[in-house]
A and B are shown apart, each in its own frame.
Chain A
């Protein structure tokens, strides 16, 4: 069955420090992988996506993620965090067998301290 695990419920980093958010997935075939960000009371915004090809993908707001098939991981990174990056981050994998839905992790809440 398809599933996503985000092991870190909450992470705190200092502004300017580097960031890595972990995502592990279970999927029977080559997955489509996504990272979304959600600010309080808002919907989800797509940060980046991976389909195939180069395993290091670049997204918006200076984020990148690396697909590692051997580790079933798709970790999100940013070299220098800004206070405005504080939000909830969700990893998603899919599609389902019907091709119409994706499976989201439980999210990682990021706090940025000055």
Chain B
């Protein structure tokens, strides 16, 4: 068990560019979550996968955002036409079964849009 891995750790991009982040959950975890954390705030839910199915999306996830988990293992989060307001820490978490037992979070990807 190597924990939840996220790549890259940091990303600086120019406004209008597309970016993609990757999350590798704990291997036996079937549930995967994406959260966004802006400066001075707690994490906010973006979306959730059970295996390869995306079962819930937050209203925060505008049409510029898309997430996939093609084989029920790793997941990608893509942001198209980035805006300065997208600057945040993007956290991935995973759980085995119910999230009631708590998530295991990755270290996050820090996105800076300039």
Question: Chain A interface (Cβ within 8 Å of chain B)?
Answer: 4, 32, 34, 36, 41-46, 49, 51, 90, 92, 94-96, 98-107
Contacts and interface: CB of A to CB of B under 8 A. Distances in A.
Given A44-B103, A102-B99, 20 more contacts: A34-B102, A42-B108, A43-B4, A43-B105, A43-B107, A46-B102, A46-B103, A46-B104, A49-B101, A92-B42, A95-B100, A98-B55, A100-B31, A100-B45, A100-B48, A100-B99, A101-B45, A101-B48, A101-B99, A103-B45
- Classify chain B's interface size: 20 to 34
Contacts of B6: 43
B97 to A, nearest CB: 11
Contacts of B55: 98, 100
Contact of A106 (B4, B42, B56): B42
B105 A104 contact: no
Interface of B: 4, 6, 31, 33, 40-45, 48, 55-56, 58, 91, 93, 98-108, 110
A17 B98 CA distance: 37
27 contacts: A36-B105, A41-B110, A42-B108, A43-B105, A43-B106, A43-B107, A43-B108, A44-B43, A44-B103, A49-B102, A90-B43, A99-B98, A99-B99, A99-B100, A100-B33, A100-B45, A100-B48, A101-B58, A101-B99, A102-B45, A102-B103, A104-B42, A105-B42, A106-B40, A106-B42, A107-B40, A107-B41
